[in-house]
Structure 1
Amino acid sequence: MIDCQSGGSRQFAGVLKPALKKDALEDPVGFRRALRAWFEKEGKDYPWRRTRDPYAILVSEVMLQQTQIAAVLGRGFYARFMERFPDTRTLASAEDDVLLKTWEGLGYYRRARMLREAARVVEEQCGGEFPKDHQAVLGLPGVGRYTAGAVMSFAYDEAQPLVDGNVARVLARLMDFSEEIDGGKAQKQLWAWAEELLDRAYPRIYNSALMELGQTFCRTGQPDCLECPVAKFCRTRHPAELPKKAKRVKVTELDEHVVFAERDGCVLLKKLEAGRREGMWRLPERAAAEVADWALLHRRKYGITRYRVTLHVHADEGIEAGEGEVWQPHADVPGLVMPPADRAALAAVTGDAEEIA
């Protein structure tokens, strides 16, 4: 049973949290109405909310998997990608260099390649028509349960539940769910609640509102419960302590040693042929022992998955081009796809701000 203490509010972190007045599962209609009324008045205007094009929505969802909305919009990633690849036909035929250059700066480049694979399936197996069936969308390369549901609800207004990071946080607090949400059992429960609370009459609005609630009032850390439009439906007494997550994987420290070699207006670079950076160009790497006595030009740190990397850039002490390493004219470097750390290091060494662009 839910502990509905008397009184209009509960104390947390020095402010008052509105007390539970109605249970969302017992009054789902009231919960949906309150959420919809807030969103229809206060919901943000994003480019992907102005369209019903399933392809454009898919692009936005894939970009937002690992990137903040502010970065996707503020740095023009979404607009630039859609201008270069406005439909599945243009994306399906994209060359690797062009695709990665357009995606540059977003990281996790596998996402761009999986988007292209999905576009190719649409072109080759669906006659260029984006599928309208949920299972068909779910079958596209790189598309999981959340992404398929997002496309179906936002493009076709089909009643599909969604659970992303924001929704999981909202549901964990709403239901006072104290289990670690990373586990399979917990995920099954969260999806079950999402299904039960789903507004089947207005799925597009409802799912957008639930996600935005997690981005705004029900944000990570200390939520704004006093202004939350559905606070009266929230069970938890300690929202800042939820959701519970498994302990993070320990970050591993790594060192990388690369060389800045410049001759006759060219810089030595290597195109990577495998791994997460496949198809990208970077400064040639050498073993630490080989460059131990070489002058250090620049040092910078960057993070990649569970690694914290220190990149050391050494001066050329008579380096010879190795396998796959090419002398690239400086004028061509801005057009090459490079990891952000390498591009920033190269800019720092050369003093050329345009290298970062």
Structure 2
Amino acid sequence: MPKQSPLQRPEAFATTLGAWFATHAKDYPWRRTTDPYAILVSEMMLQQTQIPTVLGRGYYTRWMERFPNVQTLAQAEEAEVLRTWEGLGYYRRARFLQQMARTVMERHGGAFPEKLEDIHALPGVGRYTAGAVMSFAYDRAAPIVDGNVARVLARLCDDATPVDSTEGQAKLWERAELLVQAAPSARAHNSALMELGQTVCRVSSPTCGQCPVQEYCLAKEPASLPVKGARATVTEVTERVFFQRTEEGVLLQQETGARRTGLWKLPALPEVEQLPAVLHKSRYTITRYRVTLWVHEAPPARKGKPLQQEKAARVIPHDDLANLPMPSPYRRALNALLAETAFRLEA
């Protein structure tokens, strides 16, 4: 009997997928709750961060302990919000969460909205996140399309249309809508599609023999799908900063760029004829940039003299350093420098 795509038999497909998920679902804390706020927090964290990192390093747990609801998050100081988020990167997500909490308090009386259009209108909430909250919190038939779902759907339908193209996105959302409408539980169905992509229909090594819905899969060469457009090239960037410490504390500079506004870092090294000695070197990647971070001694003009205030910079007392929000690359560099027992305070 020839295979049929899930679009031809959506109810049967949803039933088969749901039965598999009932016995193979992984246990995540956000699957133990129907609180839309808790689910939104998990979705925002998972946008740019893998599940093992979010759970294994305790980010989700710490956030929910400190900000268990929209009220506590709305009332918090931004610095504390950023410090709690520290290590996850892409700090706009943390700011969006706080803006969302304040919007819920101001426009919805503290009650999380239940309409898809109202959820979608919250700061930082896109189509996928709105659908995730609707289906996971309220069990309503809203489609979701993330990387896992896109891969599963492209293979099931044997579709080589680039998934990151306008046409590809339109197809994916249309198919996701059709399938979730046919499912007895939107919560279980959307979770199952994601789980299938994470554990069976994987990126480079799909285990098709273990797939519970292989009778609905039309892919002839599953590993070749999905097709994506040309990837952005990685740009090498050099970043030079300096470390100046006194008995009062460490000179730090507050970020002003859109990506890291409000965070603190080691001050940028001003233009000098000769680079001061290197104290620390590390590398990190952010979006399409691979950054080499060089930490130098303070420039000669600053040694042994009163600190010259850089733009948006001030001396942070040693006792306050741990509570200051700081990008992870700078936190690691600062901790390494402070831990060096051979480094003496500047005169």
TM-score category, normalised to shorter length: over 0.9
Please give the alpha-carbon distance, in whole angstroms, between the structure 1 residues aligned to 2:54 and 2:41. 11
Unaligned residue ranges in structure 1 (runs of 5+): 5-19
DSSP 3-state at the match of 2:279: strand
Is 2:25 the counterpart of 1:63? Answer: no
Counterpart for residue 345 of structure 2: none
Q: Contact conserved, 1:261 with 1:268, CA < 8 A, in 2?
A: yes
List per-residue Cα deviations over 1:99-138 (Å, max 9, x = no partner).
1011111111101111111111110111111111111111
Is 2:57 the counterpart of 1:75? Answer: yes
Greater per-residue helix proportion: 2
Shift of 1:265: 4.7
In the TM superposition, 1:142-221 aligns within 5 A as: 142-198=124-180, 199-221=182-204
TM-score by length of structure 2 reads 0.92
RMSD: 1.6
Is 2:265 the counterpart of 1:282? Answer: yes
In the TM superposition, 1:231-250 aligns within 5 A as: 231-250=214-233
Counterpart for residue 88 of structure 1: 70
Q: Decide whether aligned partners of structure 1 residues 154 and 315 sit closer, same or farther in structure 2, where only a CA change above 3 A counts.
A: same
Give the residue type in structure 1 aligned to 2:171: Q
In the TM superposition, 1:1-357 aligns within 5 A as: 21-198=3-180, 199-287=182-270, 289-290=271-272, 292-316=274-298, 317-319=300-302, 320-351=308-339
Shift of 1:273: 3.0
Shift of 1:28: 1.8
Please give the alpha-carbon distance, in whole angstroms, between the structure 1 residues aligned to 2:321 and 2:124. 31
Shift of 1:352: 6.3
List per-residue Cα deviations over 1:155-181 (Å, max 9, x = no partner).
111011111111001001111110111
List per-residue Cα deviations over 1:180-232 (Å, max 9, x = no partner).
11111110001111111223421110010001111110111111111111122
TM-score by length of structure 1 reads 0.90
Q: How many residues align?
A: 334
Please give the alpha-carbon distance, in whole angstroms, between the structure 2 residues aligned to 1:324 and 1:160. 45
Counterpart for residue 13 of structure 1: none
List per-residue Cα deviations over 1:38-88 (Å, max 9, x = no partner).
110010111111111111111111111111011111111111111111111
Please give the alpha-carbon distance, in whole angstroms, between the structure 2 residues aligned to 1:352 and 1:235. 59
Give the residue type in structure 2 aligned to 1:128: G
Give the residue type in structure 1 aligned to 2:40: L
Please give the alpha-carbon distance, in whole angstroms, between the structure 2 residues aligned to 1:351 and 1:240. 47
List per-residue Cα deviations over 1:314-356 (Å, max 9, x = no partner).
0123433323211112222111111111111122223269xxx
Please give the alpha-carbon distance, in whole angstroms, between the structure 1 residues aligned to 2:116 and 2:36. 12
Q: Contact conserved, 1:271 with 1:279, CA < 8 A, in 2?
A: yes
Q: Contact conserved, 1:273 with 1:279, CA < 8 A, in 2?
A: yes
Q: Decide whether aligned partners of structure 1 residues 72 and 94 sit closer, same or farther in structure 2, where only a CA change above 3 A counts.
A: same
Unaligned residue ranges in structure 2 (runs of 5+): 303-307, 342-347
Give the residue type in structure 2 aligned to 1:162: I
Q: Contact conserved, 2:11 with 2:183, CA < 8 A, in 1?
A: no
Please give the alpha-carbon distance, in whole angstroms, between the structure 2 residues aligned to 1:352 and 1:275. 33
Give the residue type in structure 2 aligned to 1:238: E
DSSP 3-state at the match of 2:285: strand
**What is the percentage of aligned positions where both structures have the same residue?**
52
Give the residue type in structure 2 aligned to 1:330: H
DSSP 3-state at the match of 1:263: coil
List per-residue Cα deviations over 1:268-291 (Å, max 9, x = no partner).
11112332111111000024x417
Please give the alpha-carbon distance, in whole angstroms, between the structure 2 residues aligned to 1:325 and 1:82. 32
Counterpart for residue 9 of structure 1: none
Shift of 1:34: 1.5
Please give the alpha-carbon distance, in whole angstroms, between the structure 1 residues aligned to 2:68 and 2:301. 47
Please give the alpha-carbon distance, in whole angstroms, between the structure 2 residues aligned to 1:29 and 1:314. 63
Give the residue type in structure 2 aligned to 1:278: T
DSSP 3-state at the match of 2:122: coil
Kindly report structure 1 stretches of 4+ aligned residues shifted beyond 6 Å.
none
Q: Contact conserved, 1:291 with 1:314, CA < 8 A, in 2?
A: no
Please give the alpha-carbon distance, in whole angstroms, between the structure 1 residues aligned to 2:334 and 2:37. 36
